[in-house]
Structure formats: C-alpha cells, structure tokens
Amino acid sequence: MGLGGVLEDWRRDPSRTLRLEQDYARSLPFSLRPYGHWLSHAREFGELKVGLWTVPGSPSVALVSWKAFPGMGTRVSHLFVDSPAPSPTLLSDILAVLSEREGPVFALTDLLAGLSPEEVRPLLQEMGYVHFEHVDTVFPSGKPLPPVPTTGHWSFRSIAPSDEAVLVEISCRAYAGYEEQLMWPTLDLRRDLMDYVRDSLSGGEEKLILGASLLAFAGEVPVGYILSSLPSNGNPYVASVQVDPAFQGQGVGRALLLQVLSELRALYPAQDVGLTYVRQNVRGRALYESVGFEPLPAEQRRTAGSWLSRKALASLPQSSVKPGWGENGE
C-alpha cells in the first residue's frame, strides 16, 4: 500500500530545497560529494527538473531530480530522503508518480541517499531493474610493471586533436551495445561520444596526458585508443580504453594499457594510477586484473553505479542502445 505522497516543484519552497541539497551533499561519502554540488549547479542551469516529495501528515520529505526524455521516459539523477522512517514503499511511490507524470523511469543513480541499499535492492530487482556497479581500481605506485609486449603487429602514436573523428568512430563501434548509456546525457550514442571525445581532447574538466594517450594501429588502420587524464585533485587516471570490436581478443587492449602504464610510471613515479570499469564488463575486468589493477576499499569509492530497466530498452532508438551489453569491450 502506498503512502500517498505529493511531488511538487522545488520553486514552491526554495529555502527548503537548498537545505535538502546541502544535507544531501553532506550525506555522501567524501569522495562523492561533488555529485551533491553538481545537483545545485544543474538545477540552476535548467538541466534537471527538481521536485520535493512530501507525505501529508508525515515528517518525511525527499528531494528528487530527474531528466525527462520526450516519448521515452525518465531518468532519476539524484534522490535524497530526509525521513525518520525511510522505506522501499516511499521509493516505489516516487517512481510511480514520476512514471505517470513523465514516462517510465528507466534509470536511477546509485546515490539514493537515506535509503538502505539492502532494502531497495529487492524492490528494484522485482521492478525489473538491473544493477550496474562501478569498480574503482588503482595500479599502486610501488607495484612492478608487467613488461610491454614486444610481439604483435601493433604500432602506437600519441593522440592529437585532429584524431577526434577517428576516436568517435572507434568509440561508436565499441559502445554499440553499452546499456549503461542510459545514464549518459542525451541517450544519442554518437552525440554523447562526440561530446566526450571533444571535451577530452580540448582539456575540459580533466587535463589530458598527451604522452600517455595513444592511438593504436594495425598497419595503417586505427584499431583502438587509450586516454589518460590528470584530475586537478587526484592521481593520473586511465579514463578510457577502447578497441574496435573487429580487433578485440587479439591483445591490442593489453598492449595499449601496458604501454600507457609504462609512460605514466615514468611521468608520475610516486603516484598510483586509477581506472574505473563496470562490473558487467567481464572481458575488461579480466584484462585489468591480469595487468595488476586492484579494487579500492569501499570507503574510498569515487564513482556511483546505476540501476537500469531493461524494459525501457525496447523504446530506445536502435542506433543508440542495444540489449546484450557485457560481451564486448577489451
């Protein structure tokens, strides 16, 4: 039985919204607090709809932000419950109202602050959601580097801004079945990847490490690439490893990764190298573990996973997302 809550526009009570946003940011692990600050920024620039969920006669209140995609459905970006008795029923009611108002909710962030993951997991699984867990790893600074392969027919060169179109084409082929694109900005595969590549090459939010960002070739044909970046407040980071599906399983991803680790060790000998992957990426996980990347402890987690509804995939453009991701990637 539902609780009978009401979802109202945040502008009806802006002071309460601000307080809840601040409480939300404080509720997150320290490494994830930028997500809370991003919420306020995104609201101010009109990138998200924001609502206050209240239950008549109850002290329960929730701050909900979402993005609606016309003719498709809704993605919940943040949800913070300030309640003496949070429950899965409250989450179920919020999702039901959002679905009725904007279209079916097909994606939720892991950052459902105030709700117990152990409580909401059975509910979301029963509702048809699949959990995509992000695994944060590091290659420790003191760990010996595996040798860079000397066999194979791959060659490498540093990535240049003029490589934008090539990187986008490789990415589109590699990400063709990537279900977690449901959490990307526009749900248009080519546009999202073009924005990501362009931002990376232009030195957007994170500085690209040019000497450790490489394009791989088989003869004259570009077959894969790797991007490394240097966050303003962190260690060097392997931001993306992509291999054309036609060349996966041939060792190019491993050769790229080991070459880049060698370059990063020379540039930053005293620093760990970070890398994040999605647990469903079985082949990627095997590669990263075999090279020597180690999972970070839970308290040092820096990225958030997501809950995605496979039922919504059928309504997405076939050029954007296709079911069955988890078999590709290197």
For the segment 255-311, what is each residue's pLDDT rounded down to a tens digit? 999 999 999 999 999 999 999 999 888 889 999 999 999 998 877 778 888 999 877
How far, in Å, are 101, 197, 309 from residue 226 at the CA level?
41, 11, 30
Confidence of residue 319 (pLDDT cuts 50, 70, 90): very low
Please check whether the two domains, 6-127 and 137-303, share a CATH topology: yes
Segment (H or E) for 19: helix 14-27
For the segment(s) 6-127, the CATH number from 1.10.3470, 2.60.40, 3.30.70, 3.40.630 is: 3.40.630
For the segment(s) 137-303, the CATH number from 3.40.50.2000, 3.40.630.30, 3.90.640.10, 3.40.640.10 is: 3.40.630.30
Model pLDDT for residues 81-108, shown as the tens digit of each residue: 988 777 888 899 999 999 999 888 999 9
- Which residues 6+ apart lie within 8 Å of 105 measured at CB? 66, 73, 74, 75, 76, 95, 98, 99, 309
Q: Where are the domains of the chain?
A: 6-127, 137-303
